[in-house]
Amino acid sequence: MQKRKLGNSNLEVSAIGLGCMGMSFGYGPAADKREMISLIRTAVDSGVTFFDTAEVYGPFTNEELVGEALSPIREQVVIATKFGFKPAANGEGRWSELDSRPEHIKEVAEASLKRLKTDVIDLFYQHRVDPNVPIEDVAGAVKDLIQEGKVKHFGLSEAGVQTIRRAHAVQPVTALQSEYSLWWREPEAEILPTLEELGIGFVPFSPLGKGFLTGKIDEYTTFDSMDFRNVVPRFSAENRKANQVVVELIGDIARRKNATPAQIALAWVLAQKQWMVPIPGTTKLHRLQENLGAVEVDLTPDDLEEIDNATSQITVRGARYPENLLRMVGR
């Protein structure tokens, strides 16, 4: 597995990481714990060193899973987790209100360390920007945790340009995690140039478009009642039908390259910048192996130009989040 450094930091990780959220949360019922531990360890054996989780995934159960899976091989891997949500009093509020008060950040860090069975968090992201807490205070709290040896690197997720700049001035930001893929390219306008200027790495989540870019989802696909995609406008049956044109484009290139659509979608992300590390998620061993095979796919400058030209003619239908979650991004 190739390695990459996130921006100007000394944080080196595998060129493709593993997003662990879907093992516990978001795409239907939680998967079998023993199978997921085995999958995570197989990823390590395959060269993956970068694992992504968060306290709200579950909530809490995903961190516990990742901790159990990786604790025997802790020195070989980089673990990223997140703070910034306020769990509901009844424990049911997976996406509850935001809370990035410095005292809460430090409480979350202590709890995450226990669940992850570790004494240090490699990369600690603010999960969403909290408009009620100055980002300087957030960065300062993480800076304290870094000085205490409990956190190594500070990250932001779905933050806007000015927030990134203000945070970076207090505590250097190692990575920004935001959605980015062949059907969501908005970060190219302002975010990516800012990251390049400041030397910040980029960790695209949903690089396979929440599964859509694999070519395995169409207008007739039904999702589990607990699947987050049921409330995503982009995943309405009408929009899935309209958006098949993106999948068809990727499929054409995949056939020429003797690759799968998922591998083309990931190879495209990898080809954008050397400081970009996508974190596709999966609960299936064959999908893990397929995704990791993307590092072997060589997209030439001509291929990339063809993809750009073709996708520029396509308007993807539907918002990427329901309205209540859209309000939380880009601040």
Catalytic residues: 57
- Beta-bridged to residue 27, according to DSSP, are 227
Whether residue 207 is preceded by a cis peptide bond, meaning omega within 30 degrees of 0, is: no
In the numeric block, which tokens belong to residue 310?
Answer: 């073709």
- Whole-angstrom distance, CA of residue 190 vs CA of residue 52: 25
Phi, psi of 276 (to 5 degrees): -110, 130
Task: Name the residue among 75, 84, 201 with its Cα closest to residue 133.
Answer: 84
**Contacts of 9 by beta carbon, 8 Å cutoff, 6+ apart:** 153, 172, 174, 175, 199, 201
- Whole-angstrom distance, CA of residue 263 vs CA of residue 182: 12
- Whole-angstrom distance, CA of residue 245 vs CA of residue 228: 23
- Beta-bridged to residue 13, according to DSSP, are 4
Cα 228–229–235 angle (5° rounding)? 165
In the numeric block, which tokens belong to residue 190?
Answer: 């302002």
In the numeric block, which tokens belong to residue 19?
Answer: 């997003």
The secondary element (H helix, E strand) that includes residue 316 is: none
